[in-house]
A and B are shown apart, each in its own frame.
Chain A
């Protein structure tokens, strides 16, 4: 399934809903969208991976890049993910220790200090 990207606003957060496959072919589009958001002044990005069917190292690299970009801008970056297959990828790569990961958008937007509790 092709990559799909959609944004919406929840309070002061911008939620980027990602769907389909995030891989070496589609990840550049995700990177472009995240860069656009940060460059436009967004300072709290929540990436919802609920619709993602496949995620590889290239996609993970894009997410880390966005987090770094926001950190430089004193912004906040978090992920929403409850799929075990994706959570296993974060655990194996140790990126679960790098990203705040929440089970729901509500939890991500409620926890304004950026420390995941999931």
Chain B
């Protein structure tokens, strides 16, 4: 069960709010101080991805962020874009990053996934159980308990 649940309209301005809330809950949950920058970045990347997908498909639906501190600190970022949009999450090799033919969107998506994969040891991307959409689930250890 979520400790804190946040839903926001898919606008870039709200991603910062999600980051701030995510880090505040992480700190309270007992995530190590030295991991908080990574938590901030990862939640931001997952939310940015969700906002981009909703905008790409003209979906006004809310993006949901659920934070739970039961045994560890887990964050689920849930979008409602078609599942096929999630396919293609791939880390780009260095020689392709500055390639002229690579679009800005493809570059940002590839770099965003590289950051998620690089900063989150326990990362899962899977379809939501009901309806279209994808859930990005990230887990960090906590110190207390």
Contacts and interface: CB of A to CB of B under 8 A. Distances in A.
A24 B41 contact: no
Nearest to B117: A92
Interface residues of B, number: 29
B44 interface: yes
A93 B115 contact: yes
Interface residues of A, number: 22
B119 interface: yes
Where chain B touches its partner, the secondary structure class is helix
Contacts, number: 74
Interface string A28-67: 0000000000000000000000000010111011001101
Interface in A74-118: 85, 89, 92-95, 97-98
Given A64-B107, A92-B119, A58 B48 contact: yes
Contacts of A17: none
B14 to A, nearest CB: 8
B114 A56 contact: no
B48 A68 contact: no
Contacts of B109: 57
B142 interface: no
B21 to A, nearest CB: 15
B97 interface: yes
B13 interface: yes
Interface in B33-60: 37, 40-41, 44-45, 48, 51-52
Contact of A61 (B44, B93, B107): B107
B114 A94 contact: yes
Interface of B: 12-13, 15-16, 19, 37, 40-41, 44-45, 48, 51-52, 92-94, 97-98, 100, 104, 107-109, 111-112, 114-115, 118-119
22 contacts: A23-B12, A23-B16, A23-B44, A23-B48, A25-B13, A56-B48, A56-B112, A56-B115, A57-B112, A57-B115, A60-B108, A61-B104, A61-B111, A64-B97, A65-B107, A89-B41, A92-B115, A93-B118, A94-B92, A94-B94, A97-B97, A98-B94
